[in-house]
Amino acid sequence: MKRLILHIGYPRTATTWFQKRFFPFVKNFEYISDSYNFVYGFEKIKKYPNRLIISNEEITAIKLGGEVDIAFMLNRMKNIIDYYDRIDCLVIVRRQDDIIRSAYTYYIQSGGYYNFDKYWKRMKRINKIRQWKYYSYLQALEQYMYKDFFLHIFPYEDFAKNNNDFIKKLSSRLQIDVDFHKINYKPRNSSPSLLSLAVVRRLNRFFYGYVNPYNNRLAEELGIKTNKKHIKGIRIPIKIIIGTFNLISFSKFDLSHVIKKDIWNTFKEENRKLDEKYHLGLKEYGYY
């Protein structure tokens, strides 16, 4: 039987860890690295292996604005999906207040300068929060998937609680043979402290970054000419700043009780429906 495992890599759910430290050590499947899948396109693959793992954030079909276009994603992958007899979709979900807090720290490290309250209000205003409505997302996936497939959903909290037990359970469910001795569970990135995040957020008002490529206030003050057709301004050494201030303060950034309650109320009904259908034990982790 020709089998395909699609890891629908929700951002901030250990997706990079799976791509770098787990899938490459699976022995009974070939793995196409995350950088290959959508940069070069599936049409470039000359011959599909009979057992294949594909992992990429873009498989979520979530666009920058937060809208979801699953039909477009599946159409783009039609040739490869048609080749396989069995499709296993792996999805890892994470409690929304935790994933949004993590997304916010990434936003700051990418050049953002909103405080969290403004960031959260903007996410709701432009409806980018739809990407974290897991039940609606998976219902759409089931609707548009034109072949029979097996859906495997795991809470990220199980992974965080016991990495080894989680991976063994996942491997058994997906019938994956992996060399457990080669797996490194150490986090790939250290979280910024509350102080380092505050420092970077304020500096971002004067430097350019991924989310504010046209910010050049410091360049203007220094009289540096910039080309509007290219990246403008000066980039700050984010990792060095975070590493330095993490040594000074160990207090981690967290959300206020009011914000957490707002996020919880926003998603609780979606999470309840998800748990009732797939029996994931989400209530134990405070999803609803």
pLDDT tens track for 181-239: 889 998 766 678 899 999 989 888 877 666 665 555 544 544 444 444 444 445 567 77
> Helices (H) and strands (E) in the chain — how many of each?
13, 5
- Residue 43: pLDDT band with limits 50, 70, 90: low
Q: Residue 16 and residue 118: Cα distance in Å, rounded?
A: 28
CB-side neighbour CA atoms (13 Å) of 245: 19
Helices (H), the chain: 15-21, 34-37, 70-76, 78-83, 96-109, 116-125, 134-144, 156-161, 163-174, 194-203, 217-222, 238-248, 257-278
pLDDT for the residue numbered 207: 72
Hey, which of 99-103, 109-113, 221-225 has the most confident mean pLDDT? Answer: 99-103
How much is the average pLDDT of 270-274? 98
pLDDT for the residue numbered 235: 59
Q: Residue 235 and residue 226: Cα distance in Å, rounded?
A: 13
Enumerate residues 6+ apart whose C-beta is below 8 A from 285: 95, 155, 157
pTM (two decimals)? 0.83
Which of 212, 267, 254 is closest to 236 using CA atoms?
212
Instruction: Write the pLDDT tens digit of every residue in 230-269.
Output: 444 455 677 777 778 777 877 889 999 999 999 999 999 9
Q: Is the pLDDT of residue 21 over 90?
A: yes
- Residue 100: pLDDT band with limits 50, 70, 90: very high
Enumerate residues 6+ apart whose C-beta is below 8 A from 78: none
DSSP 68: B
pLDDT for the residue numbered 44: 60
3-state secondary structure of 137: helix
pLDDT for the residue numbered 166: 97
The residue type of 91 is V
